[in-house]
Amino acid sequence: MRFGPWWLSDYVLKIIAGYAVGLGWLWWQAPRHNIRRNQLTSFLWSIVLGALSVGRLGYGVYHSDYFAQHPVAILRFRMTGGIQGDFALAGGLLALLLWCRRVQQPPAKLVSLVTPAALGVIAGAWWGCAGLGCAWGREVLSVPPWARWAITAGPDLYHTVLPRYAVQAIGAGLALALAIISAPVSGTSGGWALVIYFCGAAALSFWRADPVPFLWGQRMDLVWSLCLGAIVAALLLSGQRKMRT
C-alpha cells in the first residue's frame, strides 16, 4: 500500500494493526494504573525507539556476513531489510526498565500493563511473517493424521512453497490467545502471559527452518526467548515479593 512517497508492505501493515490495538488498550488502561497520558506518550516512544534500535542491531547480527562488507547499510532501513524480532523485544524491555528507573515506577507493574499490547504486536508480526515467508517452518515429508493441523503449504524467504510446520500461525495464535487472557488480569499477574509466550516461542524454534546464528550450540532465537522469559519472570517475582512485604 502506498502513502504518497512511502510504500508499506503487508508485513508492516499487519504489525501496525497489532500496534494500533495495543496502543488503544494502553491509552484506556493507563489512568487505571496511575499513569498520566503525557507519561504514557514518553513511555511508548521510549519502547518504540528501544525496540527499533536494538532490533535493527539484531538484524545486523543475524546477517553479519553481509553487513561486515557493507557496514553503512545497517543504517538504511528501507534499503536492506528490517529488524529482528527477538532483539526488538529485548530493546523494548530494556527501554521499559530505563524508563521505570527514571520515573521511579515498579517494573513488574509496567510489564503487566504492556503485556496484552506487546502480545498484540507480536501476533501481528507472526501474521505478517506467514505471508512474507520469514521465520518459516521445517519441511514435512510425512505426518500422522493427528498432527495435520500443524502443517500448512507455506513459502520460505525464497518463495518455495512446500508442506511445512505452521510456526507462524501457531505463534500468532499463541500470542493472540495470551493477549486476550492477560487483558482482564489485574496487578502483576498479567505479565506471566508474556513468560508463557517466550517459553512457547522457544519451543517453536525446534520447528523452524530459517537460518539463524547459533549461540552455545543452540539457535539464537531459542536462547533469546529463554533469556527474555527468565528476565521477565525475575521482574514479576521481585515485584510480587515487594507487594507482600
Confidence of residue 9 (pLDDT cuts 50, 70, 90): low
* Residue pLDDT, tens place only, 141-190: 887 787 788 898 888 878 888 899 999 999 999 999 999 999 888 777 88
Per-residue model confidence (pLDDT) at position 164: 92
Q: Cell triple for residue 226?
A: 529463554
- Residue 151 phi/psi, 5-degree rounding, is -115, 140
Asked if residue 221 lies in contact with residue 201, where contact means CB atoms within 8 angstroms, the answer is: yes
- pLDDT of residue 139 exceeding 70, the answer is yes
Size of the chain in residues: 245
pTM of the shown model? 0.89
**Which residue from 235, 125, 242, 241 is spatially nearest to 191, judged by alpha carbons?**
235
Q: What is the mean pLDDT of residues 49-72?
A: 83
Cβ count near 117 (within 10 Å): 24
Question: Average per-residue pLDDT in the chain?
Answer: 85
Q: Which amino acid is at 242?
A: K
CA neighbor of 199 nearest in space, from 167, 226, 172? 226
For residue 61, name the pLDDT band (cuts at 50, 70, 90): confident
For the chain, the structural domain boundaries read 9-244
**Would you call 158 exposed, middle or buried from its count of C-beta atoms within 10 A (0-12, 13-18, 19+)?**
exposed
